[in-house]
Chains A and B, each alone.
Chain A
Amino acid sequence: MVSTVRHPDPVGATGVKKLGAYSGAAGSHELITKIILYALLIIGAMIALTPMLWMLSASVMPTGEASAYPPRFFPSAVTFSHYGELFTRLNLGRYLFNSAFIALTVTGVSLVINSMAGYAFAKLRFRGRDRTFRLLSLGLVLPVQVAMLPLFLLMKNLHLVNTYWGVIIPGMSSIFGIFLIRQYALSIPDDMLDAARIDGASELRIYWEVVVPGILPILATLAIWTFLATWNDFMWPLIVLSDESHYTLPVALANLSGEHVQDTELMMAGSVLTVIPVLAVFLFLQRYYIQGVMAGSVKG
């Protein structure tokens, strides 16, 4: 029906005449629209990038240059001394290691745990499945902060306060991750799984050899999501890590920014080092990430 409206006279003379008149008048109109669109897009891009570019630029300015009037956007001379100071005097290498270890461990472990659970919810029939799933979905509206006070006491009793595991363990499974995997795993054909079962494959082998290869794209999405979220996380690591040697980068940075509030260039170098790993992960793997966010959100 719609197509008949769209093409009232596909080959007739009136259509051709209309088209000719249309493109002539619309040509300049279209150009103006285009210019406005791109102007807006470029202004938007500048707004999005300026803070990041200034951070990068200030991090290589000579000491004091980022706190001067009038403010500079570009350094008068490039120096990496602030980066050097961070690694030699301020132990940044340690925090970088802590952050990387925690984020990679959480990502690796949670991928296995969440994908097994998501697959089970999507494809395995068992008693109590729907009830369990509904119970789990209640957790999505609970803000994590509500759990933090007792969680701290629990961690204290388990002697996990001020250890990597105090941060890692609560991150090893996430309701969001299970939902994301389940949604995607629903599209695995049952025939494939049943065929493997008839061949005598164990459930674990089916998961590993049929399911995992089938859900690789969403695993990539979840891996990136988990890595970014864990790396950027602040509140829980701040609470559970009390000793400086265990700090993650965001916690260390927040701590440093209190002591070194005057050292603008130093703080910018620290911010660059904190941001670069997540930015690199995003830029290299954005294809999987963006597709996953768009697909997951619309269905979810």
Chain B
Amino acid sequence: MSATIPGAHIPSGVGKAAWLFLAPALLLIFVFFFLPVLASLVLSVTDFDIYAIANPPTTRFVGLRNYSKLLQTPEFWQALRNTFYFALVGGPLTIALSLATALLLNNKLVRFKGFFRTIYFIPFVTTLVAVSIVWRYLYHTKYGLFNYGLGFFGIGPIDWLGDPNWAMPSIILMSVWKNFGYNMLIFIAGLQAIPSELYDAAEIDGAGPARRFFNITLPLLGPTLLFVGVITMIGYFQLFAEPYVMTQGGPLRATTSVVLLMYEEGFRWWRMGYAAAIAFVLFIVILIATLIQFRLQKDRT
């Protein structure tokens, strides 16, 4: 029968059915995501503010004034610096710890793999706001477990969240703890895809663990590394809840991220045109960071 030839016996209804199946999803994504993104671009060249919310016609086109104002504002540059600090230090640290635990769990000598994997994954599934509150107490200068533990090693109390120099490292430390389990899982999947014959052959050739890691594991893990790098970076550039809950962006704005700044400008002061410009700068930063990673990956292979 003609039905066995692909495409030869497709009832004309299939195309219609396909669009009916797609309609709800596409409609929702278009109206509640793509349209707002485009509107955001328009918003960013207007002076839309608290008065405009009550009376939209008062909004005026201001060209690139929001952007030029942004680039002249020290608070914006600080937020950008803070976000880069978080992403460029926290990202690689998270990825390194993820890869290390994945390698540990992938070792032939280790049993109870599922048990450890589950435990390491627990921080990732827990609610970010809740663990941020928990860590805020763990970081307490006087009563927190961190300083108590460090006291045994003779290290004096650190003002984790109160010292502008320590606040961001504290948030990074918590984020590494919270997120490494997810990347670990992806690395384990990547490691399992590497044929074990390669390791056996290398071992017979006398390659030690370090050489096996750099000559086999790392190159073959390339695509996984790229995937993990891109999603971690995209996620970390969107830093928001941690500083919102733990430090309110302080001390001395040392943990104010780009998204937190956008939230404050847009939803606290209702300077929505200005906030939209911040959102777009964030998008451009993320886009460039993603492209750079793809480029690095291409150069290496």
Which chain A residues have a beta carbon within 8 Å of chain B's beta carbons? 2-3, 5-6, 30, 33-34, 37-38, 40-41, 44-45, 47-52, 54-55, 58, 66-71, 73, 113-114, 116-117, 119-121, 124-127, 129, 132, 136, 139, 141-154, 156, 169-170, 172-173, 175, 178, 190-191, 194-195, 197-198, 203-204, 207, 228, 231-232, 234-235, 239, 249-251, 253-254, 257, 264, 267-268, 270-271, 274-275, 278-279, 282-283, 286, 290, 293-295, 297-298, 300
The chain B residue with its CB closest to the CB of A239 is B267
Q: How far is the CB of B94 from chain A (nearest CB, A)?
A: 14
Cβ–Cβ contact A197 & B131, under 8 A: no
Pair A116/B130 contact, Cβ less than 8 Å: no
Minimum Cβ distance to chain B for residue A204 (Å): 8
With A125-B10, A143-B283, A249-B127 given, can you name 4 additional A-B contacts, CB distance below 8 Å?
A: A113-B24, A121-B22, A145-B279, A235-B263
Q: Which of B61-69, B70-78, B183-191, B212-220 contacts A (4 or more CB under 8 A)?
A: B183-191
CA distance A287 to B11 in the complex (A): 39
Judging by beta carbons under 8 Å apart, are A51 and B134 in contact?
Answer: yes
Q: Which residues of A contact B181 (CB under 8 A)?
A: 48
Question: B residues within 8 A CB of A40?
Answer: 104
> Counting chain A CB atoms within 10 Å of each CB, which of B17, B193, B198 scores highest?
B17
Q: Give every chain A residue within 8 A of B227 (Cβ-Cβ).
A: 297, 300
B88 within 8 A of A: no
Measured in the bound complex, the distance between the Cα atoms of B143 and A132 in whole Å is 56
In the complex, chain B residues whose CB is within 8 Å of the CB of A54? 134, 138, 145
Which one, B17, B144, B177, contacts A124 given CB within 8 A?
B17
| Residue numbers in B under 8 Å from A55 (CB-CB) | 130, 134
Residues of B within 8 A of A146 (CB): 36-37, 40, 279-280, 282-283
In the assembled complex, how far is the CB of residue B295 from the closest CB belonging to chain A, in whole angstroms? 15
Q: Given A41-B110, A55-B134, A114-B25, are A234 and B11 also a contact pair (CB < 8 Å)? A: no
Residue numbers in A under 8 Å from B301 (CB-CB): none
* B107 interface residue (CB < 8 Å to A): yes
Contact B39 A150 (CB under 8 A): yes
Cα separation A198 to B1 with both chains bound (whole Å) = 10
Tell me which residues across on chain B come within 8 A of A250, comparing CB atoms: 127-130, 241
Would you call B259 and A275 a contact (CB within 8 A)?
A: no
Count of interface residues, chain B, beta-carbon cutoff 8 Å: 105
CB-CB < 8 A to B131: which residues of A? 51-52, 271, 275
Residue with the highest number of chain B CB atoms closer than 10 Å, among A47, A124, A282? A124
Q: DSSP class of A's interface residues: helix, strand, loop or mixed?
A: helix
Q: Which residues of B contact A145 (CB under 8 A)?
A: 238, 240, 259, 262, 279, 282
B230 to chain A, nearest CB (A): 9
How many pairs, one residue from A and one from B, have CB atoms within 8 Å of each other in the complex?
Answer: 304
B107-144 CB mask vs A (1 if < 8 Å, else 0) is 10110000011111111011111110111111010111
A34 cross-chain contacts in B, Cβ below 8 A: 109
Asked if B177 contacts A47 (CB within 8 A), the reply is yes
Determine whether the beta carbon of B25 is less than 8 Å from that of A117: yes
Residues of B within 8 A of A67 (CB): 140, 143
A124 to B15 CA separation, bound complex (whole angstroms): 7
Q: Is the CB of A51 within 8 A of B287?
A: no
Residues of A within 8 A of B101 (CB): 44
Closest 5 CB pairs between A and B?
Answer: A203-B17, A150-B39, A117-B25, A147-B36, A124-B18
Interchain Cβ contacts under 8 Å between A and B, 16 examples: A37-B110, A51-B123, A58-B137, A71-B144, A121-B22, A127-B15, A143-B286, A149-B262, A149-B272, A150-B35, A154-B36, A228-B125, A232-B127, A279-B122, A293-B182, A294-B189
Q: What separation, in Å, do the CA atoms of A232 and B25 have in the docked complex? A: 23
Q: A124-B17, A268-B134 are in contact. Are A52 and B126 (CB under 8 A)?
A: yes
Quick one: CB contact mask for B203-239 with A, threshold 8 Å, 1 for yes?
A: 0100000000000000000001001000000100110
| Contacts known (A149-B276, A172-B28, A298-B190); A198 close to B120, Cβ less than 8 A | no
Residues of A within 8 Å of B198, CB to CB, are: 2
Residue on A nearest B112 in the bound complex, by CB: A41
A69 and B109 in contact (CB under 8 A), knowing A126-B15, A169-B32?
A: no
The complex places the Cα of A279 from the Cα of B290 at a distance, in Å, of 32
Residues of A within 8 A of B19 (CB): 120, 126
Q: How far in angstroms is the closest Cβ of chain B from A39? A: 11
Which residue of chain A lies nearest to B193 when distances are taken between CB atoms in the complex? A298
> How close is A67's CB to chain B, nearest CB, in angstroms?
5
Question: In the bound complex, how far is the Cα of B126 from the Cα of A49, in angstroms?
Answer: 11
Give complex CA distance A102, B25 in Å: 19
Residues of chain B with a CB closer than 8 A to A116's CB: 21-22, 24-25
Q: How far is the CB of B183 from chain A (nearest CB, A)?
A: 9
Is there a chain A Cβ closer than 8 Å to B50's Cβ? no
